[in-house]
């Protein structure tokens, strides 16, 4: 899937914050989800919709983030030394987008549930309606903590009010900002220099660009997020577990649609980079991790763990097996309690 190629597409991924609520020595965006670091889920999605260039805004533990993403194509890094808000983060990214004249998609690295389909729709709608900016919005029963989106009578975005700056009437609004934007860079890029930190948090809000555009008579448009679960950010270990559950459910359902049978789906854990051939049957309490491939028409017995291994076609693991860092030839039958390649 790729967005309309009418204009070049770049993506900016905001990944500078530490994530102190994780209570971890490791920066939040490098915590794994379904076998893939959080930020990699976002990067893969923007690459899949055709982003020609990706600028990752880093700050805390920036060398670790750079090392973790080494080897991925078309990624540049901008450093945000002090975290002075989302507007400041995009100002930092602008140094890497000098001369760029296409569209810029902005996402946060701690929203790993955003799908490529949703991001594609934001870019498609942006190019279709021709406004200088497009905002992904959602309607929540409990909008606490999110910026509220104020629309005009024609559906244009008048402004976004952060919760700490909102009055009682504004707090009652349920339409919220997801933090995903698509900008026509020629128009929006120059506006970043006008951002002010005169607000309750003393930060440069990227959301202030919406009000600038409305005042100029060219308001941003919005796209509604159909599944609010995609909005789930990861701020602590509990939310990490919730996001992991959603991702693993997506993986199982995708594989089932591709012809894989799970005898007990809810007890089976499959990582994001695992490939499983059609007509394979997987029994309960199986864990398949890392970069693993399982050939067609295989049978994986219960209480089995497979990690970074390659199983040929028609392999049968009887159960209670540990198969790691090895290759199992097609047609093999592995008896129970066998450890293969695990030492």
From residue 220, give the alpha-carbon distance in Å to each of 16, 137, 149, 212, 213. Answer: 26, 12, 11, 10, 7
- Contacts with 323 (C-beta within 8 Å, 6 or more apart), sequence order: 304, 305, 306, 307, 309, 311, 317, 334, 338, 340, 341, 342
**Rounded-to-integer distance, Cα 59 and Cα 75, Å:** 16
From residue 202, give the alpha-carbon distance in Å to each of 88, 147, 182, 263. Answer: 11, 16, 25, 54
- Contacts with 134 (C-beta within 8 Å, 6 or more apart), sequence order: 122, 125, 126, 181, 182, 183, 220, 221, 222, 223
- Contacts with 248 (C-beta within 8 Å, 6 or more apart), sequence order: 34, 269, 270
Per-residue exposure over 99-115, b if at least 16 CB sit within 10 Å of its own CB, e if not:
ebebbbbbbbbbbbbbb
The single-letter DSSP state of residue 147 is P
Question: 5, 21, 194, 237: which is the annotated catalytic residue?
Answer: 21
To the query of whether residue 229 is one of the catalytic residues in this protein, the response is no
In the chain, helix, strand, coil percent, each to 5? 30, 25, 45
Query: Which residues are known to be catalytic?
Result: 21
């Amino acid at each position: 899937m790729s967005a309309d190629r009418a204009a070049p597409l770049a993506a900016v991924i905001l990944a500078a914050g530490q994530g102190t609520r994780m209570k971890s020595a490791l920066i939040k965006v490098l915590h794994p989800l379904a076998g893939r670091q959080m930020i990699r889920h976002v990067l893969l999605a923007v690459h899949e919709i055709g982003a020609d260039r990706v600028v990752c805004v880093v700050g805390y533990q920036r060398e670790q983030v750079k090392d973790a993403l080494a080897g991925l194509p078309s990624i540049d890094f901008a450093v945000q030394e002090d975290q002075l808000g989302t507007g400041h983060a995009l100002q930092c990214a602008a140094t890497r987008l000098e001369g760029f004249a296409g569209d810029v998609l902005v996402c946060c690295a701690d929203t790993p549930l955003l799908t490529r389909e949703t991001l594609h729709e934001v870019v498609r709608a942006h190019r279709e309606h021709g406004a200088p900016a497009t905002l992904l919005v959602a309607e929540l029963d409990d909008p606490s903590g999110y910026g509220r989106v104020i629309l005009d009578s024609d559906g244009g975005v008048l402004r976004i009010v952060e919760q700490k700056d909102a009055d009682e009437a504004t707090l009652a609004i349920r339409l919220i900002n997801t933090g995903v934007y698509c900008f026509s860079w020629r128009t929006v890029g120059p506006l970043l220099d006008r951002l002010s930190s005169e607000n309750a948090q003393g930060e440069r809000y990227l959301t202030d660009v919406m009000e600038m555009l409305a005042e100029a008579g060219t308001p941003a448009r919005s796209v509604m997020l159909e599944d609010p679960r995609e909005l789930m950010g990861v701020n602590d270990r509990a939310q990490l577990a919730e996001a992991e559950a959603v991702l693993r459910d997506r993986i199982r359902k995708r594989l089932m649609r591709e012809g894989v049978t799970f005898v007990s789906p809810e007890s089976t854990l499959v990582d994001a980079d695992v490939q499983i051939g059609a007509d394979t049957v997987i029994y309960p309490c199986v864990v398949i991790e890392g970069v693993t491939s399982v050939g067609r028409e295989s049978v994986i017995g219960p209480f089995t763990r497979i990690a970074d291994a390659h199983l040929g076609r028609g392999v049968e693991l009887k159960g209670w097996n540990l198969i790691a860092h090895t290759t199992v030839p097609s047609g093999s039958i592995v008896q129970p309690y066998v450890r293969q390649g695990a030492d």
